[in-house]
Structure 1
Amino acid sequence: MTGAPTPVSPQQIPAAYQQALRLQNAGQLQQAAQIYAAILRTRPLAEPCFQLGLISARTGRRAEAATWFRRALEIKPRQIEIWTALIDVLDGPERAKAMAEAQRLGLIPSDKSAAAMRKALAELETGDPRKADRLYRKALEAGGDPVPLRETWARALFDRTETDAALKVLAEGLAKAPADPRLLLTRASLLETAGRIDEAEADLLAVLDARPYHPLAWLALMRARKQPPGAPHVATLEQRLPEAAADPEATRYMSFALAKALEDQKRDAEVFAHLDRANTMTRRKFPWNFEADHGFLRDAIAAWTPRTRGQSGAAPIFVTGLPRSGTTLVETILAAHPQVAAGGEAAVMTPLLHPAVEAWFSKGTDYDAQAIGQAYVAGMARKLGAASRDCRTTDKSISTYATMGYALDTLPDARFVVLERDRRDVGLSIYKNLFRDGTHRYSNDLTDIARQIRLFDAAVAAWRKRIPDAIHIVDYEALTADPEPHVRALLDFCGLPWDPACLTPERTERQVHTLSSVQVRQPINRGSVGAWKRFEGALQPLIAALDATRYDFG
């Protein structure tokens, strides 16, 4: 860059930053760098410094990149992405010094802490809980910031339904650092999952008192409950969102949060402006590879042949469907049964099965169906502990729809419950919710959502032809209109006796780790049926793509 760039006005910073990002993504690095430098002439911000560092690193100017990253850290000293980028461009003693500082801040665990924590988590899964706790304490004593260790340990305990122990771990940390936002956010998340909404909200407000533009706190606060007209927190969010315009992450999360609140208040005409902004930003960060997803489904289904070598005896109930189709409700209905233990989004089968399936159809590499079935049963037993003894288990990992035939090979007594729901309602709900970054990459564009829906439809249709006796379809609209006959049919398919408790799943005291954690604590209802009609105009790209798109896996 030559000469001093002309500064932009403060009001122009958000638009200028987005223009620079577009240029940078298009490979026009010099033009992008000039705009970032112009922004910095107006206001010292971490993001332009960080982007200038990335541009310098990309063009081989490592020393210059390090200078920009250090300037960014002067503004945001605890931003792990910046520390990681800085460490990547350093060598020798400077690299070691930067790593030591990041470890001191608790952003990168020390070697001793990390090793002790890995042992503690392994011991918690398979061994003596008291020994696991001693190893966790050893990890704390190894030095560095204990906050990430406390977060990890609390979540591990919570996943094993040891709620009180998990909250005690966080309380110990907050006694030493009462305003630490990460500990408060973690505790709020656990409290909300446990249904203790008032306590969760108090923690979120404490975070926002200290950090008024905290993106995760705003999104969690708006999701925690319905926001009635005139809610003061919504008015505050409306005021703060424009003020956060120079911070892309704050803007992205706060836009999703405000869209949700405005929908609650029935301010429908304002909702999609915020949704479109948030989804466009997310899609830019996490583009979808449609060809890869389509190819996996096509090839996996085409290559499948029935096997009989799986692990007999275990009879898990896989609940699958599109995101936001009612899978959490159906799993909670099943979990109300005294003979069922809910596994939630267990994430046990996919890591075991998907690599084996891909190796099978791409290379012809055979796999051991029984070994995978045994590993799955062992993994669920570790996850659920005593809750899984003498009970059927549910697994709501929705990606199971892609490989139902293979999963049945590994577990011949398994059953698959598939949710069907109005595709327009599903599409709207997907678009308005922010999923964990990097997952559900199709979810940030209405046309892409329609294409994913049709991929799902084609896969389910193909598996229903191949393994019809193992699959049961639950129609969400019919279930919510008249629950009892559909719940009876569901239990009968699963081989479970009738129990009236399944008609009142909201009374079930279980942890719900999904975006539906608030909704499922309400009685079965039709509150979200036909919600797409409120936004029919804005949803035309989705509706048109649903009408025009079909796939067939034979």
Structure 2
Amino acid sequence: MTAVSVLDDQTAAAIREAITAARSGRIPEAVSIAERALANGGDVAALNAMIGTLHCQTGNLDAGIRHLQAARQARPSDPVVSSNLATALAQKGDFAGALDALSEDVARTDPTMQLLRVRAFLAQQVGDYSAAIRTYESIVAVAPEDWESWNNLGNARRLAGDIEGSVAALERASDLNSAAPPIRLNYATALAAVGRVDDAEAQLRRMAEDFPQDTKSLRELHAMLKELGREEPALEAIEAASKRDPADIELLLALASQRLNLLHTEAAEEAYRKAVEREPGNSLANLGLAVVFELTNRTGDLSNLVNEAQKRGVGEDVLNFIRAFDYRRQKKFDEGLAALEKVPDELETARRCHLLGQLEEGAGHYDEAFAAYTRMNEIQRGDPTRPEERAAAYRTVVGNQRETISAKWLKGWREDASKCDRPSPAFLVGFPRSGTTLLDTMLMGHPNVEVLEEEPTLLKASKILPFDALADASDQRIEEARNEYFKVAGERTPLAPGKLLIDKNPLSMNALPTIRRLFPEARIILALRHPCDVVFSCYATNFKLNDGMSNFLGLDTAAELYDLSFSYFEKAQGLLGLSVHKVVYENVVGDREIELRSLLDFLGLEWSDDVLDHESTALSRGRIKTASYAQVAQPIYSQAAGRWTNFREHLEPVLPVLEPWLAKFGYSL
């Protein structure tokens, strides 16, 4: 109740009687007693304060606020009245009104500083961070051990944009109370925001150890690592979180999504099915299954899923999304467009725009298709891993390496006396979307071939032997890098004796110097396709955004990388003398046997008719990691050649960049 100095006898008696009734649970009677006293001329402030408080206790906030406002008007400096009014207004969601009710002058009359804490919280809620910061700073100046206020100060500073100040305050809060997971989580988040990601990771990992039942630290670790593009450690974090709380459907879906992002399709399907078992109508789980079936060419399962999901009670929005996937596979493009049109804009993800583009293109609506692909790339540009910056950095690296290599540079190479005890692999390279996946699928059919499909073999080896160290690398360092290469390869394929290892990774065309240093006898298969088809197809594909593929978010940067990559490749090939065999996609489409016989001769392999049955090979190989997963499971069709002509107008700005390569490779506009 409100604090008063002197009350008239009538008011004092009414308050005593009302308190007695309230303590006995007779709140309406207590209100009536106070109201009668107020009507008979009792103390306005005291009685309105009592009536307002009683109404608030019963949940009648509107009436309570009305009376408390009357009490505050009569006695504006009363801290109890102001506090009760502020609390009621905050419960109604009127934080601005609550902040106004609890003035700074009134809050400072409270020796416990609790009202200052309330006022600071209210200021933070209305976005007045400077007031919140000023108030919290005044509290910790008097009570430096108040870890809650240090924590709140850190949050207020972060919201105000003072990240460094936020870290300092949260570090102090964490030091004062390391047993509070929310404080340490806030501290780790602030560390990440200020760019101290290693410290943030260490803090989150310690939290995960210190609080073995808690999942929040692992959730945050997963989110941070994912934003940094560290997909494998991010998977480990979300797997650990889901293991701690298997019943948490959100964790299970995050686990499934992360597995799918890494194309661990079997494991993703397992997680999505568990989610469906727990919540049959869960939209994300059912849609996730559709994506898994789409990526693994399981057209029958995709068709069946439409009816199964409908029986499970999945909403129409997601059902239409799944139907659109199925219609695209059946080449029922108009039906697919009609289904996708019923999917609301809130589901406008990059995957949805990609599907829309494919359906529009299949229906012959080329301008609409291009608009959908453009929207897909606009969405991808907003990815928190800053793909455009990473793409620019990648082009800079390729350009710098191209300028570095020269006859003089090569002459300075230290001779490598080490001997590799394994046969050299062959490397299948070429600009993405040049037919490398079709080609590696054909080669997989050969009984004496093992194919690695876009595995980080050279990436891992390059961490031991980076480009800058190639020239003067010691025998020991070269051998270490080579051993790391085969270690990574051996984790992904048997490396059976007598079989030729073919390492397919398109943009390894920008790694010829590393290949030459590790494997001087390596044979290089260069896949070629019409440059305009290649660049457009890259632009129209929903790639996983690694540093190289991030260049395809714009036609200009895709063309720029094409020019950089081939000029680098040609210069490196001329200097390094590696054995290169070109396979032209359009020739494969025209007569695959002639093209494949020539390739097998180059690789020193006997002819095998099995290489011609790429459809069976594609269906038996299971997961296909690349964007060509659907095409390679189908018959070769000539429409893929010349696809770009339907989008000629949109490619006009980049044709000057590509024209020299068109002429060089024998293509025309």
Q: TM-score when scaled to structure 1?
A: 0.67
Of the candidates 510, 532, 547, which is equivalent to residue 621 of structure 2? 510
Deviation sequence 1:469-522 (CA, Å, 0-9, x none): 522111111221121111001111111110011112111111311110110012
Matched, 1:464 2:573: yes
- The whole-number CA distance in structure 1 between the counterparts of 2:269 and 2:577 is 45
Aligned to 2:301: 199
- The whole-number CA distance in structure 1 between the counterparts of 2:654 and 2:355 is 22
Of the candidates 530, 538, 545, which is equivalent to residue 437 of structure 1? 545
Matched, 1:275 2:380: no
Distance change >3 Å, CA 443–CA 152, structure 1 → 2? closer
- Mapped contact 2:427–2:523 kept (Cα < 8 A): yes
Matched, 1:324 2:427: no
Aligned to 1:521: 633
Of the candidates 345, 353, 356, which is equivalent to residue 255 of structure 1? 353
Distance change >3 Å, CA 255–CA 190, structure 1 → 2? closer
Of the candidates 521, 526, 529, which is equivalent to residue 418 of structure 1? 526
- The whole-number CA distance in structure 1 between the counterparts of 2:424 and 2:489 is 12
Identify unmatched segments of 5+ residues in structure 2: 1-95, 97-126, 128-155, 171-185, 195-199, 223-231, 663-669
Distance change >3 Å, CA 253–CA 187, structure 1 → 2? closer
Of the candidates 399, 402, 412, which is equivalent to residue 294 of structure 1? 399
Aligned to 1:346: 455
Aligned to 1:408: 516
- Mapped contact 2:438–2:632 kept (Cα < 8 A): yes
- Mapped contact 2:356–2:372 kept (Cα < 8 A): yes
Matched, 1:264 2:362: yes
What does 1:206-245 align with in structure 2 at a 5 Å threshold?
Answer: 206=309, 210=314, 221=325, 225=329, 227-231=331-335, 233-240=336-343, 243-244=345-346
Return the letter of the residue paired with 1:510: R
Aligned to 2:644: 532
Aligned to 2:535: 427
Return the letter of the residue paired with 2:621: R
Of the candidates 594, 618, 622, which is equivalent to residue 485 of structure 1? 594
Aligned to 1:21: none
Distance change >3 Å, CA 224–CA 416, structure 1 → 2? farther
Distance change >3 Å, CA 281–CA 189, structure 1 → 2? closer
Distance change >3 Å, CA 220–CA 270, structure 1 → 2? closer
- Mapped contact 2:450–2:500 kept (Cα < 8 A): yes
- SS class of match (2:432): coil
- SS class of match (1:474): strand
Return the letter of the residue paired with 2:583: V
Could you say which structure has the larger radius of gyration? 2
- Mapped contact 2:166–2:190 kept (Cα < 8 A): no
- The whole-number CA distance in structure 1 between the counterparts of 2:660 and 2:514 is 30
Distance change >3 Å, CA 251–CA 409, structure 1 → 2? closer
- Mapped contact 1:472–1:493 kept (Cα < 8 A): yes
Moved more, 391-400 or 279-288: 279-288
- The whole-number CA distance in structure 2 between the counterparts of 1:307 and 1:433 is 41
- Mapped contact 1:170–1:183 kept (Cα < 8 A): yes
- SS class of match (1:369): helix
Distance change >3 Å, CA 482–CA 57, structure 1 → 2? farther
Aligned to 1:45: none
- Mapped contact 1:147–1:183 kept (Cα < 8 A): no
- Mapped contact 1:213–1:240 kept (Cα < 8 A): yes
Distance change >3 Å, CA 535–CA 219, structure 1 → 2? farther
Return the letter of the residue paired with 1:323: P
CA RMSD of aligned residues (A): 4.9
- Mapped contact 1:179–1:210 kept (Cα < 8 A): yes
Return the letter of the residue paired with 2:329: R
- Mapped contact 1:238–1:258 kept (Cα < 8 A): no
- The whole-number CA distance in structure 1 between the counterparts of 2:158 and 2:527 is 46
Of the candidates 476, 486, 497, which is equivalent to residue 377 of structure 1? 486
- SS class of match (1:323): coil
Moved more, 443-452 or 269-278: 269-278
Distance change >3 Å, CA 461–CA 548, structure 1 → 2? closer
Please state how far the C-alpha of 1:332 moved relative to its aligned partner: 0.6
- Mapped contact 2:435–2:585 kept (Cα < 8 A): yes
What does 1:389-404 align with in structure 2 at a 5 Å threshold?
Answer: 390-404=498-512
- Mapped contact 1:320–1:396 kept (Cα < 8 A): yes
Of the candidates 454, 473, 476, which is equivalent to residue 585 of structure 2? 476
- The whole-number CA distance in structure 2 between the counterparts of 1:392 and 1:185 is 39
- The whole-number CA distance in structure 2 between the counterparts of 1:219 and 1:442 is 31
Identify unmatched segments of 5+ residues in structure 1: 5-32, 34-52, 67-81, 111-116, 122-135
Return the letter of the residue paired with 1:357: P
- Mapped contact 2:405–2:572 kept (Cα < 8 A): no
Return the letter of the residue paired with 1:225: R
Q: TM-score when scaled to structure 2?
A: 0.57
- Mapped contact 1:341–1:394 kept (Cα < 8 A): yes
- The whole-number CA distance in structure 1 between the counterparts of 2:365 and 2:241 is 52
Of the candidates 96, 107, 114, which is equivalent to residue 219 of structure 2? 107
Return the letter of the residue paired with 2:357: A
Aligned to 1:124: none
Return the letter of the residue paired with 2:398: D
Distance change >3 Å, CA 390–CA 296, structure 1 → 2? same
- Mapped contact 1:312–1:412 kept (Cα < 8 A): no
Return the letter of the residue paired with 1:415: R
- Mapped contact 1:443–1:449 kept (Cα < 8 A): yes
- Mapped contact 1:333–1:504 kept (Cα < 8 A): yes
Return the letter of the residue paired with 1:264: G
Which one has more relative contact order, counting CA pairs under 8 Å at least 6 apart?
1
Aligned residues: 451
- SS class of match (1:230): helix
- The whole-number CA distance in structure 2 between the counterparts of 1:421 and 1:335 is 21
- Mapped contact 2:512–2:573 kept (Cα < 8 A): no
Please state how far the C-alpha of 1:424 moved relative to its aligned partner: 0.3
- Mapped contact 1:310–1:409 kept (Cα < 8 A): no
Distance change >3 Å, CA 152–CA 267, structure 1 → 2? closer
Matched, 1:547 2:629: no
